[in-house]
Amino acid sequence: MTIYGVALLAFCFLVGKITGTLLGAAIGIDGDVGGVGFAMILLVAGNTWLKHRGGLPPATAGGILFWSAMYIPIIVAMAAVQNVKAALSGGWLALLAGTAATVAGLLLVPVLSRIGRPDLPQPRADD
């Protein structure tokens, strides 16, 4: 049943959020440290485990895949409710600091991507 998938997703989400909040409290932050990340790892691990046992029934998986497909529309809605005026009101300092920090991060992507990439040196034969 579709609701089983939605419930499973909600379970992973809440367990992750609770883990993140407890971790935050443990290190003295009023907030959630990596809650979404823990939830994702839980879902990926659970999904991999189930795959070896025949996988989720299609209707159940559908309950999760629906929300996965709703992701981009949700991002569009999120873009429409951003405080874009604040981004401009901070003046040149905010514009410069935000842009420079982003550009630096983007430029570091190819440098750090070399770490631990097993398939980089030799050409791949299988695809």
Query: What residues from 75 to 114 belong to the interface with another protein (CB under 8 A)?
Result: 75-110, 112-114
Q: Is residue 71 part of the contact set for another protein (CB under 8 A)?
A: yes
Residue from 52, 53, 54, 116 binding another protein (CB under 8 A):
116
Residue from 1, 22, 25, 70 binding another protein (CB under 8 A):
70
Query: Dihedral of CA 47/52/56/62: which sign?
Result: positive
DSSP letter at 117? -
Three-state secondary-structure class, residue 56: coil
DSSP letter at 57? -
- State which H helix or E strand residue 18 sits in: helix 2-26
Query: Among residues 1 and 103, whose Cβ is nearest to another protein?
Result: 103
Residue from 1, 29, 55, 58 binding another protein (CB under 8 A):
29
